[in-house]
Amino acid sequence: MAQCPVCGKSIDEAAARATTGQTAFGAAEVDPAKGTRQFHDGKWYYFDTLECRSKFMAQHGQKK
């Protein structure tokens, strides 16, 4: 189980993978209820919501 780095909530990695694309830096944002993910700094980060993902990306400054 992955954890959201922003709020610490657990995420179902399989569901997040199933609902997002495989492309680094360009993960599709499909269903926030099932989690999402972002490739950053050489690894995938998993988030429970797009809001958390946005906060994380704002803090870590990736603009792609």
List residues bridging with 28 in a β-sheet: none
Site for Zn ion in 20-49 (CB under 5 A): 48
Q: How far is the CB of 37 from Zn ion (least distance, A)?
A: 12
Are 10 and 2 a contacting pair, CB within 8 Å?
yes
Q: Which stretch binds Zn ion (CB under 5 A): 4-12, 13-21, 24-32, 36-44?
A: 4-12
Are 55 and 6 a contacting pair, CB within 8 Å?
yes
Size of the site for Zn ion (CB under 5 A): 6
Residues 6+ apart with CB under 8 A from 58: none
Q: How far is the CB of 49 from Zn ion (least distance, A)?
A: 6
Residues in contact with Zn ion by CB under 5 A are 4, 6-7, 9, 48, 52
